[in-house]
Amino acid sequence: MINEKAATALATVGTVCWCVQLIPQIYFNFRRKNCEGFPPIFMFLWAACGIPFSIYFISTRANLVVQIQPTLFQFFCCIAWFQSLYYPPVRMNRLKILVIVVVYCIVAVGLELGFSLWLRRLYDHGTKWPTLIFGITASVLLALGLVPPYFELAKRKGRVYGINFLFIFIDMCGAFFSMMSVVVGNMDVMGIILYCVCVTMELGIFTSHFVWWLRFKAFNPDFIDEEEIKLKEKEELDHDEKNGDIEKLGNADNIGQERVNNETNSLNTRGSRTASELGTGIENIEVVIEDLGSVSKTQ
């Protein structure tokens, strides 16, 4: 039995969670100015999964709130993706990143409008398999997006580094409430699988870090956080490089000013010498004229 009010309420809670889930991660990246452990492919795949995600829910005429979810989800994914490309360790040019994001947005809008209008008519007439393909594609991309963080976990013996736990928790809550809205609503199996994949993969991230904490930190009072030490060293190095560049610019300005002053002094000296030589030449000419005058008088 479909309970429309309960489905709307649960979907609204899920949408709110998925509207704000990436804000802690975005702020976390901004504060650290570093995306070590937060691979760009993670956010790219999540942003990309929003396209078939949106097409699927619009085509199946899911709850309106659920239809809005993918667009908001893509928006925040693009911001986090921009950060992961701009901050270390990638450090891509800002203009190049902007071009990539703009091209992505144009492609996303075109695909969503084109396929949604076409597939909705097919779905209404009972042809559901094309829409199902987009639902499966969204599920696969969503799951694949959570695979790169697992490689980062493997590098650090299971430790979560560079990913904000509040982001993961809110995202998991959003997936759970959205899944429940589908369960009490139109009971769409593909939608349930989509959200289950997200919840399961994110629970795995929590579990991995908890196991790491038990193995290396909880029972080890002498634990040294090498990752944080490396990050601080990198930040100090970047800071020193920036200061060094400023000092170099200052030194270059001073050197340039000194050269200008030297050239000016040299020109002044040359001018003085020229004036002195000119004055001496005039005096010599006057002497010669006087001598010629005296000679002519004598004659």
pTM comes to 0.71
Q: Which residues lie closer than 8 Å to 7 by C-beta, 6 or more apart?
A: 63, 181, 182, 184, 185, 186
**One-letter identity of residue 21:** Q
171 Rama class: left (phi>0) / alpha (psi -120 to 50) / beta: alpha
**Spatial separation of the C-alpha atoms in residues 261 and 263, rounded to whole Å:** 5
Q: Which of 90, 76, 108, 79 is nearest to 35 (CA)?
A: 90
**Spatial separation of the C-alpha atoms in residues 97 and 91, rounded to whole Å:** 10
Q: Which residues lie closer than 8 Å to 62 by C-beta, 6 or more apart?
A: 182, 185, 186, 188, 191
Handedness of CA 133, 134, 140, 141 (dihedral sign): positive
**Spatial separation of the C-alpha atoms in residues 191 and 188, rounded to whole Å:** 5
Count other C-beta atoms under 10 Å from residue 81's C-beta. 24
Are 135 and 190 contacting, i.e. CB atoms less than 8 angstroms apart?
Answer: yes
pLDDT at 18: 78
* Helix 64-86 with 165-184: angle, nearest 10 deg: 160
Please provide the distance, in angstroms rounded to a whole number, between the alpha carbons at the two ends of the chain: 143
Residue ranges of the domains in the chain? 4-222, 224-299
Q: Which of 53, 59, 69, 41 is nearest to 193 (CA)?
A: 53
Q: Which residues lie closer than 8 Å to 71 by C-beta, 6 or more apart?
A: 50, 54
What does the pLDDT profile of the chain (299 residues) look like in tens digits?
Answer: 567 788 888 888 887 887 788 999 999 999 999 999 999 999 999 999 999 989 998 898 887 877 888 888 899 999 999 999 999 889 999 999 989 989 999 999 999 999 998 999 898 888 888 988 998 898 889 889 989 999 999 988 889 999 999 999 998 998 888 888 888 876 677 778 778 888 898 999 999 999 998 888 877 776 666 666 766 666 667 666 656 655 555 555 565 566 656 655 665 665 566 556 556 655 665 655 565 556 555 55
**Spatial separation of the C-alpha atoms in residues 142 and 46, rounded to whole Å:** 6
